[in-house]
Amino acid sequence: MIFSQDITGLVLAGGRGSRMGGVDKGLQTFQGQPLALHALQRLQPQVGPCMLNANRHLDTYQSFGVPVHADVLPGYAGPLAGFLTGLTYCSTPWLLTVPCDSPCFPLDLAQRMAQAAVHAQATIVLAAGPQAGRDGAVSVRPQPVFALLHRNLLPSLQTFVQEGGSKIDTWTQQHPHALCRFDQASDDAQAFANANTLQELHMLQGQTALD
């Protein structure tokens, strides 16, 4: 069994925000507060300690009240850089990552991911949840930046990125891994909706305001 205190939560807010015009995505407003803060507050009740991964405006992120760590790799190296940073500073057996731009993730995310890890005897669990495609149709898709990772994976990930690896699925397939499906009728179709552009952020804001 994995207890909530065994899991460190990490909000990933270290991207370039290129599809938002280069703005710091985690500081864009959602429901009256920064996206990253909203994600942090949604994650904190589910886990033990929490931290943030950010590469700009570190003083602002530090005001959220948890440790803030910049990428341990240079050049905005993507989600794996966030994973590596989180594992580097993780003090619990497990690390749970969530992106700052999917602010409606399930309130039982950590619990169900932990159950999947135990059931599958996996050291990596990735979420798979309902998400609307461009045509509006909703299907269950892997959400690889929602990841539960065992702390012992740090040396493996260090080696992988040092050898030039950059794809999450290529690395995860090297280890016992599992998908945690969030596809029950009770799951919100917006749970894993992400805001890559300001237009998508405004749409998500409007959709959640109607719920």
Task: Determine how many CB atoms are found less than 10 A away from the CB of residue 206.
Answer: 9
Q: Is 101 annotated as a binding residue?
A: yes
Amino acid at 197: T
Phi, psi of 125 (to 5 degrees): -125, 130
Alpha-carbon distance of 172 to 174, in angstroms, equals 5
- Determine the Cα–Cα distance for residues 186 and 172; give it in Å rounded to an integer: 29
- 14 assigned to a ligand binding site: yes
At which residue do the structure tokens 């989600």 appear?
Answer: 79
Specify the amino acid at residue 193.
A
Q: Binding site annotation covers 13?
A: yes
Tell me if 59 is assigned to a ligand binding site: no
In the 8-state DSSP scheme, what is residue 5?
A: G
12 assigned to a ligand binding site: yes
Binding-site residue numbers are 12-14, 25, 53, 71, 101
Binding-site residue numbers for GTP are 12-14, 25, 53, 71, 101
Binding-site residue numbers for Mg(2+) are 101
